[in-house]
Amino acid sequence: MTTLKINTPKGEIEYSTIWQGKVILIIHGGHVNCKERIFQKGLDAKRFCFITPSRPGYGQTPLTKFNKTPGGTADLFISLLDALKIPEVIVMGISAGGLTALEIAARHPNRVSKLVLMSALTKKWFAETDKLYKGGRKAFAPGVEKYTWLLYRLSFLLIPSAMAKLMFKQVSTYRPIEFTDNEIKELKHLTMNMRSGQGFRNDLDQNIEQGILSEIKCPTLILHSENDKAVDLSHPNNARCNISNAKLVAFKNRWGHLLWIGEDYILILSELKKHIESYINDDN
């Protein structure tokens, strides 16, 4: 994986690439950046080129007044594709990155072959009166978040099983709470790389005009967990009902919002592969 920075007419962007094959533009979720590779899990790097920009406020992509909205971020990422001379991609929107993915598909339809939404937001996340909104703004505020994640990482080193249980409760409604040693290892690796920067606090305030969903015409696959505690089922149902060419596949995986952790991912990966590999077949 190569990590680079580039200046475009819409601003500076940090991004990572694994160059080979058809292009998938990965719009990552909260608390991570372009260096996170879990979203590529199980996909063949010899068949696809993965391009993952750090969303504004994450990693080394600055948050500005021009890119703080999903629409502004969409235009920023299209400027990245222009700079790299990439005419068309499949867009994969993850969690809080879902709003930007929707904006790209609606605003730049000639650049998007297919759309995938995984555990994705499709409307505003929380009301400003919600306890999770207020708590998230405090715990992951710039200047505070580095200490929050330092505490998380230290706790994972000292009491990994207890921390896995705590995070399980935050992302999944599945009961009983159970996980394997390998799942703890995956979760620990994910947590060790997490930072929120200015990005997550901005995510809590992001929203889109709901009318844009009806403007999306490309084939759209929505993958979501019935046990997702972080992003409830109203989000995938919203996309399914308002995107004309959308298919929703819901799973009962144990890890809920974290679709990529555990053996349950095998079924999820199968659906994902069918959708994106048809991208190759359609182009032949």
Q: In whole angstroms, give the CA distance from residue 245 to residue 215.
A: 10
**What is the set of active-site residues?**
95
One-letter amino acid at 42 equals: G
Q: What is the DSSP letter of 8?
A: E
- Do 141 and 116 meet the contact criterion of CB atoms below 8 Å apart? no
Instruction: Determine the distance from the C-alpha atom of residue 108 to the mean position of all C-alpha atoms in its chain, rounded to a whole number.
Output: 19
Burial class of residue 22, CB neighbours in 10 A (0-12, 13-18, 19+)? middle
Q: In whole angstroms, give the CA distance from residue 68 to residue 149.
A: 23
- Do 186 and 214 meet the contact criterion of CB atoms below 8 Å apart? no
Q: State the helix-helix crossing angle for 181-192 and 145-158, rounded to 10 degrees.
A: 150
Q: What is the DSSP letter of 15?
A: E
